[in-house]
Structure 1
Amino acid sequence: MKREFKDFIIRSWQPNDRQEAAEIIGSVLAEYNLNWEPAGADRDVLEIEEFYHKSGGEFWVVERGGKLVGTAAYYPVNRGNNAVEIRKMYLLGEVRGKGLGKFLLEELEKTIRKRNFAMIWVETASVLKEAVKLYETSGYEAETGVETLRCDRVYVKYLEPV
């Protein structure tokens, strides 16, 4: 998988991306005073093969000029009907505000829709204001049942069949 947006390349994660992807996520979490949880909520980033590839999900990285600047992922979940959860959508501060987050979300949704999933779940924290705004302006509805300790919001989007 490879997509382009402006001067960014979105591609499938490779094993040699593991450390850099983890550092991006840890850095963004720290920026918002949230904790990196390698044994908890962030274990999936250290074990992408197990959490994403084996479950039928995907983990993408975003590059600009040969440097990773973001991540985005999804995997199937047992929540609702024929559902996936979007996870680990993080962008470094230097690349926010350029439409990249919206593009990434739309590309994730297109991919998920083509795979005939019926619903998308996403959990986030209120302090991640840009993420909250993105989901709320992209047709995601507030729901209940947050499963991740550092998150206090959960959203769902129902997909029309292709």
Structure 2
Amino acid sequence: MDKQYKDYYKDFLIRSWEKTDRIPASEVIRSTLAEYGLGWEADGADRDVMQVEEYYFNNGGEFWVVEQQNQIVGTAAYYPISRGENAVEIRKMYLLPHVRGLGLGKYLLQQLEEVITSCNYREIWIETASILTEALKLYESNGYIPATGVETARCDRVYLKKL
């Protein structure tokens, strides 16, 4: 893991994932999915959360956690993909309910885009679920357009942004 990220938004610390974050980060994602009636897929769509080194760090991606008062309250990540032209996929962007509505999601998305752009990628893809209405609004209001190419049963919406 050669890329180290650290930033602040209000009273939140956004930093690169560490091995001790594996379980707390997975719990943030698992509980958020459950809140929307979606299942945790340890052998499917969520395998990357348990194998961050393999899926992100070994492939030129990054996985960040969001802390508030030393507790992980959110995650955000990206890694290169073979779809499109010099593309990445933003993945695992989740926030616990009590930290939503504070502009943190928009800030995270903008920071991901800045880092991705600085790495000279040309396209950002996002797969999400229709039931995550707040996420859909966030992506659409930040220039992501609906696309096709669903890869998992859980994610029935795909978005693309060209840089």
- Normalising by the smaller structure, the TM-score range is over 0.9
Q: How far does residue 156 in structure 1 lie from its aligned partner after superposition?
A: 0.2
TM-score, scaled relative to structure 2: 0.97
Where do 1:9-158 residues align within 5 Å?
Answer: 9-158=13-162
Q: Residue 145 of structure 1 aligns to which amino acid in structure 2?
A: G
5+ residue gaps in structure 2? none
How far the C-alpha of 1:149 sits from its partner, in A, is 1.4
Structure-2 separation of matches of 1:139 and 1:146: 19
**One-letter identity of the residue aligned with 1:8:** F
CA offsets 1:36-86 (integer angstroms, 9 cap, x no match): 000000000000000000000000000000000000000000000000000
Supply the AA of the counterpart residue of 2:159: Y
State the Cα distance separating 1:135 from its structure 2 match. 0.3
Gaps of 5+ in 1: none
Where 1:18 maps in the other structure, the secondary structure is helix
**Number of matched pairs:** 159
> Aligned to 1:130, what secondary structure does the other structure show?
helix
Deviation per residue, 1:3-60 (Å, 9 max, x gap): 0000000000000000000000000000000000000000000000000000000000
The separation in 2 between residues aligned to 1:104 and 1:156, in whole angstroms, is: 17
Q: 1-side partners of 2:155 and 2:45: how far apart?
A: 10
TM norm structure 1: 0.98
Deviation at 1:148, TM superposition (A): 1.6
What stretches of structure 1 move > 2 A for 4+ residues in a row? none
Distance (Å, rounded) in 2 between the aligned partners of 1:35 and 1:126: 14
Secondary structure of the structure 2 residue equivalent to 1:23: helix
CA RMSD of aligned residues (A): 0.3
Percent of aligned positions that are identical: 63
